[in-house]
Structures are given as structure tokens and as C-alpha cells.
Amino acid sequence: GAVVSQHPSRVICKSGTSVKIECRSLDFQATTMFWYRQFPKQSLMLMATSNEGSKATYEQGVEKDKFLINHASLTLSTLTVTSAHPEDSSFYICSAPVAGEYEQYFGPGTRLTVT
Amino acid sequence: GEDVEQSLFLSVREGDSSVINCTYTDSSSTYLYWYKQEPGAGLQLLTYIFSNMDMKQDQRLTVLLNKKDKHLSLRIADTQTGDSAIYFCAESKRRDDKIIFGKGTRLHILP
């Protein structure tokens, strides 16, 4: 099946700094990617829909100025957590649908810890 | 609105069948999924079912869908220790649409 990678897999940063997380489709083109956040022992909450070549669509309650999404190519979407705070510590997962397939492919996730 | 509900915990003895239940609210849901997540790991798609189906079986897994009641279940036959994980029920309207997840059911296997 198709592969979606994320980088980094784990990151620890200091409060107030910005962190960039990459989501790549390795063997297919993804005009759309989805970003989810998962707090410990909780479900995945959709944060935003990343659209290649246009602005991301954010879910209600997600601050677009804090979680910057850039989908500059058909294989890469980036999520930048700006001015990170400890409450931003979470597991961030991206996914991408593949044309002609029923399954969406999820990345392995990025665990962000803000100290 | 979109909401997916499932019980949070299930304990099953090894060798027995596990049944995880889920309800959803959006009648326009077309694709219904079951995902598995092991500790510290990403998501693994176990199976999916279209809204025009009643049942789907894949080896030890059986999915039942009652569209009228918006109820979905996942049955795992002959539950093994390796089945211990969190199971998420999820739905989407289209194949390439966002996926809405339930809170997950933590399956605990008793010896």
C-alpha cells in the first residue's frame, strides 16, 4: 500500500519556540492531507484539512495563526506549531487519501513535548 | 452534527470473542472504519464497511452495520493477547474526506 511518512517522530522543544512537522506521501501524490491531534488516552481530533496550492481549512476551535499549515507540493504538507506551550504537547498525525483507493493512509505520528 | 460514540473499556478472556460497539449520528456517513492503535504506535486500518452493506467478514474480524440504528460493531473471534490495543470506530462521508473518530475502546485481554 501507499506510504505516508512524518518527520520528526519525536521532538522536544522549549516553551515559546516554533516546531515544524512534515508529512510526506512517498509514492503517491496527495492534493489533500489531514492533520489530527491526539492527547494521551484520547481520540484523534481533526485539526485541519491541508489543500495543495491553497489555504488550509481549519476545524472550529483550532487557531490558524498558531498551527500554520503549508501544502506547497503534491507530496509534502507541513504543520508549524508557533510559540509552543506545554498544552500543545500531543501526538500529531497526518493522513492522505489515495486516488482510486478506499483506504486513507496515516503517517506514524509525531510526538511533541513542550517543556 | 458528526459524532461517534463507543464504550471506553472492554475486558475479554483469551480465546473468547470480543465485541466492540459503536454508534454514530451522521446519517450521511458512507464509509465506516475500525482502526487499531497499539501503545505508542500509529493507526492501523483493520477493516471498513460501506453504508450499503450489513456485514463484512475478514478472517477473525466481523463487522456488522445496522444503518437504521446507526450502530456498528466489530467482533474479534478467538481473541489473542496481541489483540490488546485501542480500537477506534470512525466514519467519513467520502473516500477522500476527513475521518471522524470515536474516543476509542481499550481492549484488555485476561489470561
Q: pLDDT per residue over B25-54, tens digit each? A: 988 888 999 999 998 788 899 999 999 999
pLDDT at B2 exceeding the cut of 80: no
Q: Which of A43, A97, A99 lies at the smallest CB-CB distance from B102?
A: A43
Q: Which letter does DSSP use for residue B83 in this model?
A: G
Q: Using one digit for the tens of pLDDT, what is the confidence trace for A11-52? A: 999 999 999 999 999 999 999 999 999 988 788 999 999 999
pLDDT reported for residue A103: 83
Q: Is A51 left (phi over 0), alpha (psi -120 to 50) or beta?
A: beta
Q: Is the dihedral of CA A8, A14, A15, A18 positive or negative?
A: negative
Query: From the CA of A20, how many Å to the nearest CA of chain B?
Result: 19
Q: Using one digit for the tens of pLDDT, what is the confidence trace for B45-80? A: 999 999 999 999 999 999 999 999 999 999 999 999
pLDDT reported for residue A40: 81
- How far apart CA A69 and CA A76 sit, in angstroms, is 11
pLDDT reported for residue B1: 58
Q: Using one digit for the tens of pLDDT, what is the confidence trace for A63-111? A: 999 999 999 899 999 999 999 999 999 999 999 998 888 888 999 999 9
What is the three-state SS of chain B? CCCEEECCEEEEECCCCEEEEEEECCCCCCEEEEEEECCCCCEEEEEEEECCCCEEEECCEEEEEECCCCEEEEEECCCCHHHCEEEEEEEECCCCCCCEECCCEEEEEEC
Q: Which of B6, B51, B98, B105 to mutate to test the interface with A (most CBs of A within 10 A)?
A: B98
- Evaluate whether A17 touches A86 at the Cβ level (below 8 Å): no
pLDDT reported for residue B78: 97
What three-state secondary structure class fits A87? helix
Q: Which of B98, B100, B102 lies at the smallest CB-CB distance from A49?
A: B98
